[in-house]
Structure 1
Amino acid sequence: MLVLASNLLDRKYFSTIQETVKSIYDDRIVVQDYIYQLQDMAHEKEIAFIKGENLEENKDIKVLLNDFSKTKLTRDEARLLKQLDHQFSGLEPLELAISTKTVSQAEKVKALDQLDRIHKTLDGLEKIQLEQGGVLTQLSEKNLRVNKMLSNLEIAFLTIIGVSILILVFYPVKVLETIR
């Protein structure tokens, strides 16, 4: 019974550890790459606005935002991601104006301000990634510590049971015979 109970608990803890490690990769490390790519794209847009050059389509940005939205998001991440999508969408009219060369200096300043807000939103998302990665790592470490403690308890109980059986085998208890 002890071994069965221990194995069931071990399975639960290892399942939790497996889920957190997978989540650290899928929902934190991969997303960190999305944030990096979005930062890079926003920076390229910023340079293009300053130079007054034609800008690339936002198709890649939409794909990244869509992939990002498919991961496990905290409430703050979901809010910031929605805000980021809205901020990138707000750039499209300004990009169109630049591509037709009908943009004023005020519109360039407005576009650069919008890009600054995008960078701040991406910084907020990056901060959340670090925090959540830490939370998941702590959860994994906690489960490993509990699993190690239970394994040590299991070994102690099995040792006590083994010693008890050896004592009973080599030093049997003499039962008093009842008088007839």
Structure 2
Amino acid sequence: MSAKLTLKQRILVGFVLALAFFLVLGSNLVDRRHFSTIQKMIESIHDDRVVVQDYIYQLRNFLHDTEVEVLETGNIEKSNEQDRQIKAILDDFAATELTREEATFLKRLRQQFYGPAGLSSIYGEDNESKILVHIHSTKKTLDALEEIQIEESGHLTQISEKSLSVNKMLSNLEIAFMIVIGVSILMLVFQPIKTLYPIR
């Protein structure tokens, strides 16, 4: 065995170490990008889907209470406090990241609550069937919005899982490359020169 590294061996060792460094650096940058994607997806699932489910739940509760009131009294009385709460919910809903379909249904929902023929325009009307039909129509819009939340949550989860799978695969490749590079360095250091560089 050679006691000292030759110039050629030193260059090769330096090359292999540089390769290992850039491999680790590149892998780290790719990992960071995938973790950033996963973090963004998780935040979106919470802020744009789970929180929105709560908005839908609150609006559905309001409609249920209104329906009970109509069945008991035949009409509905205006409540300024409730009116402010619903407007705040709809504004918060609009501030989330909406899909095109979701934006369409949210616009329809606003019309059903505050449009010219919306729920706010029939307060005090003594027309039970008209009010109940309107409530039923508004509930259907909420159903459509709820389905979108489920679909989008599933879509975001799939993207997160895909990023995790790619990240896991790259980590395994990185380990394999590091083993190969480690073995290469050991061979360069401990193998006899004649084995590495046969005389032609």
Query: What TM-score does the superposition give when structure 2 sets the normalisation length?
Result: 0.81
Report what 1:159 is aligned to. Answer: 179
Deviation at residue 55 of structure 1 after TM alignment? 4.1
2:75 paired with 1:50: no
One-letter code aligned to 2:43: K
Q: Deviations over 1:65-88 (max 9, x none)?
A: 000000000011100001001001
One-letter code aligned to 1:56: S
Report what 2:85 is aligned to. Answer: 60
Residues 166 and 176 (structure 1), Cα distance of their counterparts in 2 relative to 1, 3 Å cut:
closer
Unaligned runs of 5+ in 1: none
Report what 2:26 is aligned to. Answer: 5
Deviation at residue 56 of structure 1 after TM alignment? 2.5
After superposition, the CA RMSD in angstroms is 1.6
CA distance in 1, matches of 2:40, 2:173: 25
Report what 1:14 is aligned to. Answer: 35
Report what 1:136 is aligned to. Answer: 156
CA distance in 1, matches of 2:148, 2:112: 19
One-letter code aligned to 1:124: A
Deviation at residue 176 of structure 1 after TM alignment? 7.2
Report what 1:80 is aligned to. Answer: 105
Deviation at residue 113 of structure 1 after TM alignment? 0.5
Counterparts of residues 99-178 of structure 1 (less than 5 Å)? 103=126, 107-174=127-194
Unaligned runs of 5+ in 2: 1-21
One-letter code aligned to 1:127: E
* Residue aligned with 1:71, SS: coil
Larger Rg: 2
* Residue aligned with 1:54, SS: coil
Alignment match of 2:59 (pick from 38, 42, 47)? 38
Q: How many percent identity over aligned positions?
A: 53
Q: Deviations over 1:104-133 (max 9, x none)?
A: xxx321111110011000000000000000
Number of equivalences: 170
